Amino acid sequence: MADRAVARYRCGRTKHSVNMQPAIIFAIFLAYFLLLKWIKRSAKPALPLPPGPKGYPIIGNLLDIPSATPWRTFTEWSKVYGDVMYLKLSRKPAVILSSAKATFDLLEKRSDIYSDRPGSLILKLLSWDWNLGVMPYSQKWRAHRREFHQFFNQREVPRFQSIQLHECHAFLRRLVRSPDNLDQHIRHVLTAIILKITYDMDITDINDEYVHLAQEAVLGFSVSMIPGAFWVEHFPFLRFIPAWLPGFPFRKTVDYYRPIVETMRSKPFDKIQQDINEGKVKPSVTASLIERLQRKSGGVALSSTDDELARNVTGLAYAAAADTTSSATQTFMIAMALYPDVQRKAQEELDRVVGPNRLPEFEDHDDLVYIQAIILEAMRWMVVTPLGVTHCVTADDEYKGFFIPKGAAVIANIWAMLHDPDDYPEPMVFKPERYIKDGKLDPSVRDPLTLAFGFGRRICPGRYLAMGSLFITIASVLHTFNIEPTMSEDGKVFDPFSSVVSGVISSPEYVPCKVTPRSDKAKQLIQESSVLPSTLSG
């Protein structure tokens, strides 16, 4: 919890506060507004824009968007303005989609014009613009997507299962030794999995530098992507304001996170390149990718373009898998602590399918229907990416009689969709049974994964690896541990929605749970677990 608080302090985020002299602010914004009016010569559209809150002159709705959990505010607004809502964000208008139908109609069925990204000055300043997830829809994006998919598609990820098992069993042993460090253990295991797969690095220390790099770099990315979080995004000239002038938190954010992001992307990659040059490289995704690109170029050293591509693809795998899957695992832990009946039913299924003499394996997946339902509900209940990653429309469009202008940011309010009572009755309740009918997953219930991992051509390419890591971690923990809530000083049970880290990636600030082995037999299974990770090839 302290780490998160420190990170927020480093970001310098405040709630709609700008500590500049009012006269300077007014003069700058007025000049900027008049300049935009002068250069803007677009004709008024024949159709009306979607409805939305009125906003203020010049700055539009910037002051209306809260810095904490904006998805909840958007959800409330949608009850007034509808599931297609328009916000004025200075020079960047935004369309908020709050229903699955509207989102699929536009981002899936019209993906030819809704697959771009709006571009982000703050991400460029943070050195995060190499991220496949925020790249413009272009040939460069296609090349990156193709190489990422080559290693992490549905057919390829099963070859990583021995690594996932090995690291999961190490995670269980750490929980036995030091159960109080639950938050750190969760980050450790999921970072260790992706580092082993991507760079063949073994992470054994809970305070390892690479765990810290991934956590901090992704936190910087996450907080910078909140709509309206940094005014420099909407008034680019602010980046030229002298550094000594107070009231610009983006400067503190950039100064802190930029070197972390650059180190995270380059340091493990440089190590692999050095090992290759010294002839001692071991199989990994990075080594395989470098060798593939070298073969394509006739065996010579990587060109600057190929070097950049390889760094970007492997850096994204490292960063994204380490943080998003951690958030989902934290949510699972909290849900089990708060819903003991769910935990009991899951353990009964594990006892029946797996039995007392071994740990769960990937081959048990299809028989563990209730475990699958728990994972679906964890992805729905506390959404990892509540607003997804913003899309951008590349041509004027019309929907439901409304005009959607070219260049508008299009934001899918995934939190609203996954808490729609029409699809998920009692949406604030953690209820895996909602997905099960006659002992099988019920296809008539909307699958949360069709929303949680994004849409159209920008759907998350790492989703298969993430779901594999979630399954084996959740099944193994429930098979061997009991999870209980820790009480506050006043004896109250923790409210999971009262304290979350707001950003494009949302997660609990901390996990108020305690874990204890279910039995001596469970402890013995953990201590005797010895799955060795197989080597990667190809």
68 versus 487: the higher-pLDDT residue is 68
Q: What is the pLDDT of residue 209?
A: 86
Q: What are the residue boundaries of the structural domains of the chain, listed by start?
A: 2-44+119-389+420-528
What number is the average pLDDT over the span 260-272? 91
Q: Which two tokens stand for residue 295?
A: 């073969």
The predicted-structure confidence for 114-130, as pLDDT tens digits, reads as follows 999 988 888 888 888 89
Question: Minimum mean pLDDT among 3-12, 18-27, 174-183, 335-344: which range?
Answer: 3-12
Was 392 annotated as part of a binding site? no
From residue 166, give the alpha-carbon distance in Å to each of 50, 169, 283. Answer: 51, 5, 17
Give the span between the Cα atoms of 369 and 235, in whole angstroms: 51
Percent of the chain with pLDDT over 70: 86
Question: Tokens 């607004």 map to which residue?
Answer: 77
74/85 Cα distance (integer angstroms): 9
What is the number of helices (H) and of strands (E) in the chain? 18, 12
The whole-number pLDDT of residue 145 equals 95
- Nearest CA to 272 out of 241, 294, 298, 243 is that of 294
**Pairwise CA distance, residues 537 & 534, whole Å:** 10
Using the Cα atoms of residue 23, residue 28, residue 29 and residue 35 in order, give the sign of their dihedral.
Answer: positive
Angle at 212 between CA 207 and CA 216, to 5 degrees: 155
What pLDDT does 45 receive?
63
164 vs 154: CA distance, rounded Å: 15
Chain mean pLDDT for the chain: 86
Q: Which of 9-23, 320-334, 436-450 has the lowest mean pLDDT?
A: 9-23
pTM over 0.75: yes
Q: Which superfamily does 2-44+119-389+420-528 belong to?
A: Cytochrome P450 (1.10.630.10)
pLDDT tens sequence across 177-197? 999 889 889 989 998 999 999
Q: Rg (Cα) of the chain, in Å, rounded?
A: 24
pLDDT reported for residue 34? 58
The Cα 212–Cα 6 span in angstroms is 13
* Confidence grade of residue 228 (pLDDT, cut at 50, 70, 90): low
Residue 425: half-sphere exposure toward Cβ, Cα within 13 Å: 4
User: CA–CA separation, 381 vs 383, rounded Å?
Assistant: 6
CA 46 to chain centre: 38
| Cβ-contact 387, 78 below 8 angstroms | no
Whether 375 and 467 have beta carbons less than 8 Å apart is answered as yes
Strands 481-485 and 513-517: antiparallel
Q: Going by DSSP bridges, is the β-strand pair 409-412/94-97 parallel, antiparallel, or unpaired?
A: parallel
Portion of the chain with pLDDT greater than 90, in percent: 57
pLDDT at 240: 74
Give the per-residue pLDDT at 227. Answer: 65
Torsion on CA atoms 56, 58, 60, 64, rounded to nearest 10:
-60
